[in-house]
Amino acid sequence: MCMQRYLAWRISGGGLVIMILEFENLTLGYELHPAVHHLSLGVETGALLALVGPNGAGKSTLMKGIMGQLQPLAGHIVLNGIQRQNLAYLPQLNQVDRTFPITVNELVSLGAWGETGAFGRVRSRHKRRVRDAIEQLGLKGFETRLIGSLSGGQMQRVLFARLLVQEADLILLDEPVTGIDSRTTHDLIHLIQSWNRAGKTIIAVLHDLEQVRRYFPKTLLLSRQAIAFGETLEVLSDDNLLRARQMNEAFDDQAELCLHV
């Protein structure tokens, strides 16, 4: 079997498992300074995966690499059976410019961009999806409100509604429940679970390890490199968490790109 395709599938106790996403000796970084080192693993189609690690461990960098916003310094990111335009990405809430004069309805409608394009016609099916998403996220009556007038929790609901309209197969969430109220957190976690039950593959950057243990069956513990990957309760052991902290504290941000043998 070709080495580059080794991770694309494997045989498990239940039969053939297809990998929707692969990292092949992947190194990502900025100006040749690596932030994620030599990552090699595959994410199964339909996985509900938490991405955890210390601050500065490379989690957001990895998300940007998957989205194609950051090109690898070495290695490869492989998407199996989907195009990047069929990825949905939720950035950190504090990275969203809420001063931009756009309404709730207009922002949620951007979820159909991949189908309509910049000058395409917004058809009745798109309008129906937008209307349904707004209602499902508890935003009915907010359609004409400017996003700058919303609370943090309301804004996060709007961004999730946009994802709902997009109907992507692979959904990337960067700190989706950080800094929002408990009711919104509860609702969004359950929406994430419903997406996964519908067959979506979800990768979420999270900081609350109790949330990870409760809701996410698989976890990647990252500290510039993979510390552990697999079943959540095994990955989040005290030994692994200590090793992740130690690796992150010892990391040299100005290190040269190294070779992995």
pLDDT category, 86, cuts 50, 70, 90? confident
Partners of residue 97 on adjacent β-strands: none
Angle at which helices 124-136 and 152-166 cross, to 10°: 140
pLDDT reading at 7 higher than 50: no
Least confident of 32-36, 75-79, 114-118, 196-200: 114-118
With respect to residue 90, please indicate whether it lies within any of the assigned structural domains.
no
pLDDT reading at 260 higher than 70: no
Give the whole-number percent of the chain exceeding pLDDT 90.
74
Task: Provide the residue range defining the domain that includes 105.
Answer: 98-168
- The reported pLDDT for the residue numbered 121 is 63
- The reported pLDDT for the residue numbered 216 is 98
Q: Work out the widest C-alpha separation in the chain, in whole angstroms.
A: 58
pLDDT reading at 252 higher than 90: no
With respect to residue 164, please indicate whether it lies within any of the assigned structural domains.
yes
- The reported pLDDT for the residue numbered 1 is 30
Mean per-residue pLDDT for 173-197?
Answer: 95
With respect to residue 155, please indicate whether it lies within any of the assigned structural domains.
yes
Mean per-residue pLDDT for 204-219?
Answer: 97
pLDDT reading at 244 higher than 60: yes
With respect to residue 156, please indicate whether it lies within any of the assigned structural domains.
yes
**Three-state DSSP string of the chain:** CCHHHHHHEEEECCEEEEEEEEEEEEEEEECCEEEEEEEEEEEECCCEEEEECCCCCCHHHHHHHHHCCCCCCEEEEEECCCCHHHEEEECCHHHCCCCCCCEHHHHHHHHHHHHHCCCCCCCHHHHHHHHHHHHHCCCCCCCCCEHHHCCHHHHHHHHHHHHHHHCCCEEEEECCCCCCCHHHHHHHHHHHHHHHHCCCEEEEECCCHHHHHHHCCEEEEECCCEEEEEEHHHHCCHHHHHHHHHHHHHCCCCCCCCCCC
pLDDT category, 10, cuts 50, 70, 90? low
The number of folded domains in the chain is 1
Query: Is the Cα dihedral 16, 18, 19, 25 positive or negative?
Result: positive
With respect to residue 198, please indicate whether it lies within any of the assigned structural domains.
no
Cα atoms found within 13 Å of the Cα of residue 5, Cβ hemisphere only: 4
With respect to residue 72, please indicate whether it lies within any of the assigned structural domains.
no
pLDDT reading at 258 higher than 60: no
- The reported pLDDT for the residue numbered 5 is 42
With respect to residue 222, please indicate whether it lies within any of the assigned structural domains.
no
What's the predicted TM-score (pTM) here?
Answer: 0.87
Q: pLDDT tens across 11-56, in order?
A: 444 557 789 999 999 999 988 788 999 999 999 999 999 999 999 9
With respect to residue 57, please indicate whether it lies within any of the assigned structural domains.
no
* Mean pLDDT of the chain, nearest integer: 88
